[in-house]
Structure 1
Amino acid sequence: MPKYNVDPASIHTTVLLHEVVEWLRPKPGGRYMDGTLGMGGHSQAIMQAAEGQAELLGLDRDTTALGHARRRLEEFAERVNLFHLPFSRFEEALDELGWDEIDGAVLDLGVSSMQLDEADRGFSFIHDGPLDMRMNPDSGDPSAADLVRTLKHGDLARIIRVYGEDPLAGKIASAILKARDKGAITRTLQLAEIVRLAYPPKMRHTARNHPATRTFQGLRIAVNRETEELEYYLKTIVGRLKPGGRVAIISFHSLEDRAVKHSFRDAAKGCKCPPHQIHCTCGGVPELKVLTKKPQLPTEEELKVNSRSRSAKLRVAERLTADGEEV
């Protein structure tokens, strides 16, 4: 497997780096998009694999991450275009650059180590900080503290149950409402302790992860509208891929992975007729070929180096021609 010149001392260890590059097959003259630029690890490897002769579009709504990525990609500056945008708005950037189609796209839906480890960002239940969780703190959108302060029990429980996939969502929501009656919940460790105590003692002691893990995940997804972002991206990315172009998406929990799996499957099927209909009348043709029948997982070697990659799942699909044929 080829190695890429990625600084091991980087703030963030890029997940499934070599696998993404091998699937995308970057080439000189190609155009590639990294919709979740982060620290620029995938983008740097893509440019190196293309001998520095590709063009790259990178998007991120975190200005701090954009700054790190810009420095990391400095050697390719003339061929790299960075935008302060969420990945769902990638078409705005493509149109501004005059790019009708691209040869490859990657999304890494995980939260970066920088965001997790920086207490002031409010993503961590290990380090105390303001309960924020916004990928773009300057957006003016509601923070996690705002949601915890204003949502009704049912809405809060739904976020924790659906996005956090925690079976104790109702109990946790009740504990949050009871605690906020006594005072504002504004700190990460404050919320983490409320959630921890909502767990029965036996579950608390036997839990594989911190009891607050899923609640924080659910709130983060809700704050940043991550589900809506992904759904819109999946609906639009296919139409901006060249025939033969590939899209690679790394997800970190089952909700995201199911959305990617079903979207790829439906685009590969082509026909949009109801399942009970015997003969196709819609005339639909397949748009994608799914290249990963099962998600690709990190290797044991990667897990030893980066334990945070353990939940990562990579799915890849290739754009077909207008006739539904492979290039």
Structure 2
Amino acid sequence: MENLTYNNRLNKVFQLLIEISRGNFSYRLERTDKQDELEALSAIVNIVAEEIKDSFLHQGYVNMHDSYMHLVQMIFFLDKNFRMVYINQDVTKLLHWKKIELLDLPLVNLLEKESIKKWVNFTKALKSDQAFEKNMRLVFRTKSDLQLPAYCKIVNLPQKGYSTPSYMLISSDIVRNTEIQERKLQSKILKQIRRPRPKHLIEEKSFLNVSDLETFRAIGTYLKNNLDKNAPSLKELAHEFGTNEYKLKRGFKELFGMTVFQFLKNERLRNAHIWVKGSNEPFKRIARQNGFKNATHFSREFKARYGYTPRDLRANS
């Protein structure tokens, strides 16, 4: 029985590696309380998938018009009892369930245990006449028991003219345009083939170990979750996460390809871009929510990054 459990866990690692090789970086492995090498491997594979996806997210808004595109991935229509009455094709594609297997089932059947608690608490607190739009991070389960974390928006639908669906849940993501990426890779390989190789190559070792990866990734997550706040100094940030300033500067740049403050500025502009394009919020409020001094400073930095102003983007969205 123990060997069977171990083999099932190992198969899930292989499945996630296959998804990564296909360019799907959104899936994760469920963590267990076991203290073995396979659990350590699962943690590392999850970190790798997370970092690759983060890398694409950062690059996605540097070359957002050719290398990447923003897509709505999953759409669920739910009845008053939160059962699925409609799902789009991306739901079946990403979660690997057939439509007939999901329709009329509660959405909670697709969630992992922590998300089940969050979803149940959320639905219990709802009032039938309450109008709302709620953002929530949920973790879905695929048919092969991989996990798919997703940032979702849940809205209630007007009942007049909608006899069955009562709620809509959507998630979105940025995905890679593989054709363009393949052309870039081909060009890079051809350049390497034509370039004369030096006689003696010195292998440069990475500055980071697994513990460092987790620390700097946690710092990146902290910065992304606090875009509206004044940036702490490198010394304060290093102290907060149990490292030192030198290691933070060098290691963070090796992991993310940019300094801490470049990373923070990129995240602020990326998030602001989404707000400008997808909402009618005043630019002054968007600037404040993303850590810019004022709307003028925000507009100047925005144009320097994207080549057009927030006003231009909204006018053409």
TM-score, structure 1 normalization: 0.27
Task: Determine which structure has the larger helix proportion and give its number.
Answer: 2
